Chains A and B, each alone.
Chain A
Amino acid sequence: MSILTYREALNQAMREEMHRDENIVLMGEEVGFYNGAYKVSKGLLEEFGPMRVLDTPITELGFTGLGVGAAMSGLRPIVEMMTFNFSMLALDQIVNSAAKMLYMSGGQFPIPLVVRGPGGAGHQLGAQHSQALEAWFCHVPGLKVVAPATPADAKGLLKTSIRDNNPVVFIESEVLYGTRGEVPEGEHLIPLGVADIKRPGRDVTIVAHSKMVLVALDAAADLASEGIEAEVVDPRTLRPLDTGAIVNSVKKTNRVVIVEEGWEYCGVGAQFVDVIQRSAFDYLDAPILRVTGVDVPMPYAKNLEHLVQPDKARVKDAVYRVLYRQ
């Protein structure tokens, strides 16, 4: 166990996997000579050479298609999106090729492809570069969607995603890259579809993923000082979803707040609400509340950017309301 940043944990995961399996290749904009726009691929070109770490032109649709073709021919590509905002250009390859190839080929072509990169807002990147788009990918049958919150989860889930024979959309966070945490050495694998209780509690369940886990934990720490024990459930994998973990928590606490960085309308939290109302209807003591990004394009102004994103105060406020304290 060593203390690593989220960035280093991802780097370690790719390095270990590339040593383990020579069919794994990494490609994307600036992943080689520049060591990655966010330095996640630092040292990999040096270590594995230009046949396995490829700098691509600024052509998301093209190199993602290259990844799908490579996966069909026996390689296990990792395609880095400089940010997931640019993945919109590659959606046709991700949704129409990667997600459907196994189905449309009658099972002949599994696509062991990982599309990874940071999602969500950074700091003042403007409306077009500050979007949390996980709901878009979660909507598509054939894709798995992963969004780790901690360095340990980042490593364990990326290694599992690389070994998965299905296309995995692996959404990181620019804001999380510098966060530190204990990361198990070597063979640390976390199965997809297994949630993690980031903090146990009895009074209210807060479901959050990616960097919203940190916001939820921050709120939970405050709430604990007021005698409210919040349980923070991190699904870690958004599809397939560990519905059992969420439902079990709700059965214990009877109240739910769902936090996500993305927009409210048709967000992943809406799907969680559906799961909960179907499986735990008789255990709910209050309507489920969601704390989401405000329903506007992200403003550039720093003060407004802060207001748009879910924060501790909004999470606490929602907790008070499901507890009927307000």
Chain B
Amino acid sequence: MAVKVMMPKGSDTMTEGKVLKWLKNEGDAISTGDAVVEIETDKVNMEVEAMGSGVLRKILVAPNKVVPVGELLAVIGKADEDISALVKTDGAGAGGVRSPESGVRSQQPEVRSPGSGVRSPEPGVSTQPSVVAQGASLSNSTQHLAPSPSPAVGGRVLASPLAKRMAKEMGLEIAEIPGTGPNGRIIRQDVERRAAMAPAPQAAAVGAVGVPAPSLPPAPLPPRRPAPSPTGPEFTDEPLSSMRKVIATRLVQSKAPVPHFYLTIEVNMQRAKELRESANLLDPELKLSYNDIILKACAAALRQNPEVNASFQGESIRYHHRVNLGMAVATDGGGLITPVLRNADTKSLAEISRESKELAGRARTRKLLPEEYAGSTFSISNLGMMGIDEFSAVINPPEGAILAVGAVAEKPVVVDGRVEAGLRCRLTLSCDHRVVDGATGATFLQSLKQIIENPVYLAF
């Protein structure tokens, strides 16, 4: 049976896409999963993969042409198959394929891998990648799925709607949960059982045996906030108090739509510099940067100040239980995009360093998958490497705050009444006043400063 290649819906906002380059020619043999065409969405460039095997019979859209989402781009079929009806009907009435997902699904149930139908690229992600986009990431996802075969019937995971929703909210992979319902259907109790047996997050296992270095300030370690939990509920929605409702309404009236305010703090980077030098001496490949240290410190400070890792939801404030850091990255040829460093609070400095460089690299060349730039809970923008001393960033809604990082620079500082050379960096937090009050933001910056100036905290 002939297989359609259609313009995928790469993001919620995508309505049309541009064909950049055909990676296969008419007459080429195609196997399922082969990249057929490169397209440009409103956010990234991506490859569209074949959802079936055969011969690329007909290319219908020339490079550099912009077509609506769901438009037929090409037809894959057997060499001798009559595809004239397909080409004609779809060419005449692309409107009939308004929903690319249903169109692809109904024609191609057999090529969907187990779990792909219910896999969400990342919990809490607002973007809904199309089936084709999911197909694009299948090569990665099948490895994750491999260890425990899911109860799949005809390529679909059978799960109750409730079970699917719960698994998504808990960040569980539905396909990996054994189902006990009829035909192996995954039901509520299966998800609950899996959630109960999920391994305790690593960070929770950290003991309190660390001995503070003698030069640390005498203040006790900041109290540990709830342990990072990549498996628990995605967030908590706390209803607004009446006072908070008034604050929310009034502040929006004062500066719509997001009432920003700004807090700046200067941080002594001396110990961060030492950390960076030692780490790079141990592992020259790592190329640890100040930005990596600030990312890691920021994740730790957010864990200590969860009030800042929050978003305004109209009738409630959403406190995120994940620390997903958005990193503003300027893309080649203008524009910017914010890839997301997920669960940054649970990752080591080395992991953060490698992952952020990898994401930033692909962000610059616009090669991110839609799910890789959605779902951040707090963002960081760093213009320090461009020599900016300090600046105020604009909040990335619906996040409650964003950190603007200035240059790390030597400057004269007064120590005990004498002027000395110091290494300083200025950090500015932009806060959504509906979510974060002045003192809350200031406390967060204090935590952040304390951690950066005493990076041994990052070992705890």
The yes or no answer to A285 lying at the interface (CB within 8 A) is yes
B164 contacts which chain A residues (CB < 8 A)? 282
Q: A324-B180, A324-B181 are in contact. Are A286 and B187 (CB under 8 A)?
A: yes
The yes or no answer to B188 lying at the interface (CB within 8 A) is yes
The yes or no answer to A284 lying at the interface (CB within 8 A) is yes
**Which chain B residues (147-194) contact chain A, with CB distance < 8 Å?**
160-165, 180-182, 187-189
Taking the closest CB of chain B, its distance from the CB of A32, in whole angstroms, is: 56
Taking the closest CB of chain B, its distance from the CB of A282, in whole angstroms, is: 4
A286 contacts which chain B residues (CB < 8 A)? 160, 181, 187
A-B contact count, CB below 8 Å? 27
The reply to whether B181 and A283 form a contact with Cβ atoms under 8 Å apart is no
> In which size bucket is the chain B interface?
10 to 19
Which of A283, A284, A285 is the most central at the interface, judged by chain B CB atoms within 10 Å of its CB? Answer: A285
The reply to whether A282 and B165 form a contact with Cβ atoms under 8 Å apart is yes
Q: A254-B188, A324-B187 are in contact. Are A282 and B180 (CB under 8 A)?
A: no
Give the secondary structure class of B's interface. Answer: helix
The reply to whether B180 and A283 form a contact with Cβ atoms under 8 Å apart is no
The reply to whether B162 and A284 form a contact with Cβ atoms under 8 Å apart is yes
- Contact code string B259-275 (vs A, CB < 8 Å = 1, else 0): 00000000000000000
- Contact code string A284-326 (vs B, CB < 8 Å = 1, else 0): 1110000000000000000000000000000000000000100
Give the secondary structure class of A's interface. Answer: loop
The reply to whether A285 and B165 form a contact with Cβ atoms under 8 Å apart is no
Closest to B163 in A: A285
The reply to whether A283 and B187 form a contact with Cβ atoms under 8 Å apart is no
The yes or no answer to A265 lying at the interface (CB within 8 A) is no
Closest to B191 in A: A285
Taking the closest CB of chain B, its distance from the CB of A272, in whole angstroms, is: 17
Q: Which of B161, B182, B189 contacts A283 (CB 8 A)?
A: B161
The yes or no answer to A281 lying at the interface (CB within 8 A) is yes
8 more contacts with CB within 8 A, not counting A254-B162, A281-B161, are A282-B162, A283-B162, A285-B162, A285-B163, A324-B181, A324-B182, A324-B187, A324-B189
By a beta-carbon cutoff of 8 Å, the part of chain A in contact with chain B is 254, 281-286, 324
23 contacts between A and B (CB under 8 A): A254-B162, A254-B188, A281-B161, A282-B161, A282-B162, A282-B164, A282-B165, A283-B161, A283-B165, A284-B162, A285-B160, A285-B161, A285-B162, A285-B163, A285-B187, A285-B188, A286-B160, A286-B181, A286-B187, A324-B180, A324-B182, A324-B187, A324-B189
Q: Which 10 A-B pairs have the closest CB atoms?
A: A285-B162, A282-B165, A285-B188, A285-B160, A282-B161, A284-B161, A281-B161, A254-B162, A285-B187, A324-B181
